[in-house]
Amino acid sequence: MRYLLAFIITANLAFASVFYAKLEPINSYKVKSSVSGKVIFSNEEIEGKRAANSTIIEIDSYVDKVDLKQTQKKLQAVNSMIEIEKRNYERMNRVSSKSEFEKDNQKIKVINLETTKADIEIKIANLKDSIKNKKLIEKSNYIYNINVKKDDYVTPGTLLYEAKDLSKGKLEIFIPIEDIETIKTKDIYIDDKKSDLKIAKIYDVADSEHISSYKVELHIKDVKKFSRLVKIEFR
């Protein structure tokens, strides 16, 4: 019996795996500009704090807004022209003295106006998208770093700010491929205390640096302190 107990203890120790990882936010974001323009507002006061539906960066959109207003008026005018030319075409179709050539020319007028309308609608959509992308608002993420200041000029691809999602924490560890199946059945201990954590993700492709290991993620709720070293053990 003592030999059997010793064997069980030895087997359990053989499967015990200890790892260390830094507790990081569940997601980190690098927000880059998708438009060009002058920065008219940079919320430096919120750097190092959580956002609360806060404007972080605003890029000048005055010209876009004027262009949008005038383009919408142009669309209204083109819509009116289409209605008029359609009625003209319908009337012309009822007149037997009108040649097919005249009728076709009138139909082409309608088609050309509808093509113009489609182009205008695309322009309006692009302007609205540009205006939207020039005012960046964060709902609740932690603003880690703001990279541009008021009066800076940015282009597409310019890094504007970095944000982190603190709703959960993430631990990333690298498990030898041959041990993956074993750890799936083990309890997870965090800093020597048994937890109810489960493995959140296993990446079934070997890591580019840890070529004989799979990356494993653990997700932790209600994190009080990030960026600390955590001991992880599978028992």
Q: What is the mean pLDDT of each run of 10 residues along the chain (235 residues)?
A: 39 62 97 97 96 97 98 97 92 84 89 97 97 96 97 97 97 93 92 94 85 93 94 94
What pLDDT, on the 0 to 100 scale, is given for residue 39?
98
Q: How far apart are CA 232 and CA 102, in angstroms?
A: 83
What pLDDT, on the 0 to 100 scale, is given for residue 208?
79
What pLDDT, on the 0 to 100 scale, is given for residue 16?
52
* Strand boundaries in the chain, DSSP class E: 17-22, 24-32, 37-42, 54-59, 135-138, 142-146, 153-154, 159-176, 188-190, 193-194, 199-202, 213-221, 229-234
Helix (H) or strand (E) holding 92: helix 62-94
Cβ atoms < 10 Å from Cβ of 43: 19
What pLDDT, on the 0 to 100 scale, is given for residue 11?
39
For tokens 């088609």, name the residue.
111
Dihedral sign for Cα 80, 82, 84, 90, please.
negative
Contact 197, 217 (CB under 8 A): no
What pLDDT, on the 0 to 100 scale, is given for residue 207?
73
Q: Three-state DSSP class for 229?
A: strand
The gap between the terminal CA atoms of the chain, to the nearest Å, is 23
